[in-house]
Homo-oligomer: A and B are copies of this chain.
Amino acid sequence: MDGNDARLVAGERFTPKFDRAGLLCAIAVDVADDAILMVAYMDQEALAATRDTGVAHFHSRSRQALWKKGETSGNVLHVVEILVDCDQDALILRCRPAGPACHTGARSCFFRRLDSNTLQPVKS
């Protein structure tokens, strides 16, 4: 562990560590039961918008633009709490979802499991 890493781990200061593409990983979970809803990426702008509004914003890697989750569908994620990992390059957003988080209409994007080489529905 180098000095920089030690400061990230031990300090009280929030110094999010964006990768070479300017992104960090954000996992949205439902505050009701901590189920993982979706994973997306945030740049500095998306993180600031999330903190300012209390509603999850991400950076769309395909559109290369700020993405307010649920802007079209109405299925926004109200962020109740943000957890930060040891080296500050990943976040957990504990959310109250306004509706299904997945664009397919599923509650969670993780609705399939890998069974040998095929994908099968997760038992709910």
Interface residues, chain A, with chain B CB atoms under 8 Å away: 1, 9, 11-14, 19, 21, 25, 27, 29, 34-36, 38-39, 61, 81-87, 90, 92, 102-104, 106, 109-114, 117-120, 122
Given contacts A83-B114, A84-B110, A90-B109, 14 further A-B contacts (CB under 8 A): A11-B119, A13-B118, A13-B119, A14-B114, A14-B117, A25-B25, A27-B36, A29-B36, A81-B113, A82-B113, A84-B113, A85-B109, A86-B103, A86-B111
Q: Contact check, B12 vs A118: say whether CB atoms are below 8 A apart.
A: yes
Known: A25-B39, A36-B92, A39-B25. Is A83-B122 also a contact (CB below 8 A)? Answer: yes
* Separation of A43 and B10 alpha carbons in the complex (Å): 29
- Residues in B with CB closer than 8 Å to A119 are 11-14, 84
A110's closest neighbor in chain B, by CB? B83
Task: Kindly state the separation between the CA atoms of A82 and B21 in the bound complex, as whole angstroms.
Answer: 27
Give the chain B neighbours of A111 by CB distance below 8 A: 86
